[in-house]
Amino acid sequence: AIQLTQSPSSLSASVGDRVTITCRASQGISSALAWYQQKPGKAPKLLIYDASNLESGVPSRFSGSGSGTDFTLTISSLQPEDFATYYCQQFNNFPLTFGGGTKVEIK
């Protein structure tokens, strides 16, 4: 199975900060990677698909990049509603796998 390693596992940041989360795959997955945001008690929400495509309705401060084994989710200017846990997920091979998550907290 393809393992996805997210870093950091948590971070503290202030409103307006630029935040970067990385996701490393144990083997190449081309661009078959998605990013999700999850708030407590809620279902995950798709932010980015195919590594760099912004899902409709998602603010443009979110962006994704990378291909192969190394991927990045960037929030250009953190907003109060962005404090949440973020997960990467690969859909290149079964079993589908998720990263361990990155919790973004208020500094």
Partner 1 sequence: QVQLVESGGGLVKPGGSLRLSCAASGFTFSDYDMSWIRQAPGKGLEWVSYISGSDSSINYADSVKGRFTISRDNAKNSLYLQMNSLRAEDTAVYYCAGSTVDSAFDIWGQGTMVTVSS
Contact 98, 91 (CB under 8 A): no
Does 86 help bind partner 1 (rule: CB under 8 A)?
A: no
Applying CB under 8 A, the site for partner 1 has a residue count of: 24
Given the DSSP bridges, would you call strands 85-90 and 70-75 parallel, antiparallel or unpaired?
A: unpaired
d(CA 99, CA 18): 21
Does 101 help bind partner 1 (rule: CB under 8 A)?
A: yes
CB of 73 to partner 1, least distance (A): 13
Does 62 help bind partner 1 (rule: CB under 8 A)?
A: no
Choose among 83, 45, 48: nearest CA to 62.
Answer: 48
Contacting positions for partner 1 (CB under 8 A): 1, 32, 34, 36, 38, 42-46, 49-50, 55, 87, 89, 91, 94-101
